[in-house]
Amino acid sequence: MKANEIAARFPCDNLTVGENGHLFFAGQDTTALAAQYGTPLYLLDETRIRKNCRTYKAAFKACYPEGSLPLYAGKANAFKQIYRIMAQEDMGIDVVSCGEIYTAKCAGFDMRKAFFHGNNKTDADVAFAMDAGVGVFVADNPEEVLAIEAEAAKRGATQKVILRLTPGIDTHTYAAVNTGKVDSKFGNAIATGQAESITKLALAQEHIALLGYHCHIGSQVFTEDVFERAAVIMIEFMAEMRRKLGFTATLLNLGGGYGVRYTADDPVLDIGEKIASVSETLKATCARADFPVPQICMEPGRSIVADAGLTLYTVGALKQITGYKNYVSIDGGMPDNPRFALYRSSYTCLCANRIAEDCSLTASLVGRCCESGDIIQENVPFPADIQRGDIVAVCTTGAYNYSMASNYNRLPRPATVMLTDSGSYIAVKRETFEDLVRLDV
Ligand SMILES: *Cc1c(COP(=O)(O)O)cnc(C)c1O
């Protein structure tokens, strides 16, 4: 295959072809990394993670008032080193559980820059987060407002809170990652009056400092103007609350959700341009409503880490069922990447040690679990004689792979290796069999 034909399959520009016919990622030979660290293996391009953070930081600086902050949504991929990187890049974080809070704290992250999410924070969660010094709680429902008030009162403290609203926007993405609609399990709908009533409730609490609002309209969003529409709805609601309740919100968190390229067919998003466009709509809406431009947060997860990730596997078998179907079996699967099983997500899969060869075989790339649904991707082009020992790379796996990984079939979770300009290092060790029985009595 010609170099341009090969590159045409690549979803991101940190993939290249080496002179030895191997796939290179972040400038490093993936086949050599597979040999050095073993498979299955998660790779993360640290330079790319930092670059993605800086794109958000620069756009925020250019477009939004002082104090505005992009927050990395740790649920995309959470471990100590990533929180250290976020601290170095001066990002805030969005945390959704005590486990994420604990991890960030262990990494020395300044928890004042953490926003605590979730639609069911238990009393224990609320107490744990306050003890950890989490800066802002994103309250999802009235029960939670009261739980936050009770815990803050116990401490004689005032807790900063924003309220999660559902602006009622359909992002036309897959239903399971679509959360901004009125009938969502998350947040308080503006359309039903629930947003207004939770505002009143929060304002009535003695130990809550209500700063503003949050919305998250969905994930893997490419649709032209959904963030603009969300911004308009949210600012108009804020102006309405000022009119009705005399409450002037000073913080608006627009959530996460910008899409990334899993395949070369996905559109390219210029996040800097997108943020600039949203900010113009937002400021124009503020001007129209004579409302002061609030501090803005966003919560990118996928668009910070997805294209910084790549997973390596070793092929065990090629099964050709003549007249029916072909299967390439690898040494990982749904335990390290459940996204096809969950959402039928697209991925670009490549034969990493033979990247320049023609691909005349079409096969399902399947995992090693005792489960027919253990599929990474269907209809993958591979070299006709792909064989045991070949290396397969699955691209764009930096988000929602390790963080969703399980030990199904008692498979140890892979290591995460960070790639830097000067080499590579282990950021998360490979699980051992001992780790697997650690909790068994
Ligand atoms: C999942 C989620 C995010 C991150 O979404 P991405 O699509 O990864 O950017 C941000 N905020 C909230 C509330 C979420 O649920």
Which of the listed residues 69, 77, 94, 397 should we mutate to test ligand 1's pocket, taking the one with most ligand atoms within 8 A of CB? Answer: 94
Among 55, 213, 216, 254, the mutation site with the greatest number of ligand 1 atoms within 8 A of its Cβ is: 216
Domains of the chain in sequence order: 3-45+307-436 (2.40.37.10), 117-300 (3.20.20.10)
* 137-172 CB burial, b ≥16 within 10 A, e <16: bbbbbbebbebbbebbeeeeeebbbbbbbbbbbebe
Q: Specify the ligand 1 atom closest to the Cα of 299.
A: 10
pLDDT tens column, 385-436: 999 999 999 999 999 999 999 999 999 999 999 999 999 999 999 999 999 9
CA of 295 to the centre of ligand 1 (A): 19
Catalytic residue among 12, 63, 349, 370: 370
| Neighbour tally for 133: CB within 10 Å | 12
Task: Indicate whether 180 pLDDT > 80.
Answer: no
Q: Residue 76 Cα, ligand 1 centroid: separation in angstroms? A: 8
Measured from the Cα of 138, ligand 1's closest atom is 13
Ligand 1 atom with the smallest distance to the CA of 258 is: 9
Residue 321 bridge partners (DSSP): 325
Q: Specify the amino acid at residue 269.
A: L
Atom of ligand 1 nearest to the CA of 214: 13
Rounded to an integer, the average pLDDT of 310-333 is 97
With residue 127 as reference, give the H or E element that holds it: helix 123-131
Q: How many Å apart are CA 309 and CA 48, to the nearest integer?
A: 9
DSSP state of 221: B
Q: Is the pLDDT of residue 383 over 70?
A: yes
Give pLDDT tens digits for 99-110: 999 999 999 999
Is the per-residue pLDDT at 65 higher than 70?
A: yes
Instruction: Report cis status (omega within 30 of 0) of the bond before 412.
Output: no
Expressed in angstroms and rounded, the spacing between residue 220 Cα and the centre of ligand 1 is 9
How much is the pLDDT for 171? Answer: 67
Are 173 and 220 a contacting pair, CB within 8 Å? yes
- Mean pLDDT of all residues in 131-136: 98
CA 436, distance to chain mean position in Å, is 26
In the residue annotation, 359 being an active-site residue is answered as no
Give the list of residues 6+ apart from residue 213 with CB closer than 8 angstroms, or none: 162, 163, 164, 165, 195, 234, 237, 238, 249, 251, 252, 253
CA 305 to chain centre: 7
Of residues 170 and 206, more confidence is placed in: 206
C-alpha of residue 218 to centroid of ligand 1, in Å: 7
Per-residue tokens: 313: 């596997």
Ligand 1: distance of its center to the CA of 260 in Å?
Answer: 13
Least confident range from 137-141, 211-215, 227-231: namely 227-231
The set of protein residues with a Cβ atom below 6 angstroms from ligand 1 is: 73, 75-76, 94, 117, 216, 219, 255-257, 299-303, 399
Calculate how far, in angstroms, residue 311's C-alpha sits from the geometric centre of ligand 1.
22
Task: Check if the beta carbon of residue 407 is closer than 8 Å to that of residue 433.
Answer: no
Q: CB neighbours of 157 closer than 8 A, spacing ≥ 6?
A: 130, 207
Residue nearest to atom 15 of ligand 1 (CA): 216
Across 297-312, average pLDDT: 98
Tell me, what's the pLDDT at 221?
85
Mean pLDDT of 178-205: 90
Nearest atom of ligand 1 to the alpha carbon of 75: 1
- Give the number of C-alpha atoms closer than 13 A to the C-alpha of residue 227, restricted to the C-beta side: 28
- The CA 301 to ligand 1 mean position distance, Å, reads 6
The residue to mutate among 56, 299, 343, having the most atoms of ligand 1 within 8 angstroms of its beta carbon, is: 299
Which ligand 1 atom is at minimum distance from the Cα of 219? 7
Task: Specify the residue with its C-alpha closest to ligand 1, atom 3.
Answer: 256
**Phi, psi (degrees; rounded to nearest 5) at 368:** -100, 10
Among candidate residues 137, 149, 172, 143, the one with its CA nearest the CA of residue 253: 137
Query: Do 279 and 287 meet the contact criterion of CB atoms below 8 Å apart?
Result: no
- Per-residue model confidence as pLDDT tens digits over 279-295: 999 999 999 999 999 99
DSSP per position, 64-96: S-TT-EEEEEGGGS--HHHHHHHHHTT-EEEE-
Quote the strand ranges of 191-348, DSSP E: 208-214, 251-253, 295-298, 309-321, 325-330
**For residue 437, how far is its CA from the centre of ligand 1 (angstroms)?**
32
Q: For residue 377, what are the β-bridge partners? A: 365
Helix (H, G, I), strand (E, B) or coil at 320: strand
Closest-CA residue, ligand 1 atom 10, reads 256
| Across 228-252, average pLDDT | 97
Q: Which atom of ligand 1 is nearest to the CA of 179?
A: 15
Computed on alpha carbons and rounded to an integer, the radius of gyration of the chain in Å comes to: 23
Non-local CB neighbours of 349 within 8 Å, separated by 6+ positions: 365, 376, 377, 380, 392, 393, 394, 395
> Which of the four pLDDT bands, split at 50, 70 and 90, describes residue 225?
confident
Overall average pLDDT of the 363-384 stretch: 97
Distance CA(305)–CA(301), nearest Å, equals: 7
Tokens read off for 58: 């620069």
Whole-number mean pLDDT of the chain? 96
pLDDT digits (tens, 9 = 90+) for 154-179: 999 999 999 999 998 876 655 555 66
Which two tokens mark 271? 């996040």
Rounded Cα–Cα distance for residues 52 and 303 (Å): 7
Phi then psi for 109, rounded to 5 degrees? -70, 140
- Confirm if 286 and 230 have CB atoms less than 8 A apart: no
Closest of 330, 305, 308, 304 to residue 317, by C-alpha = 330
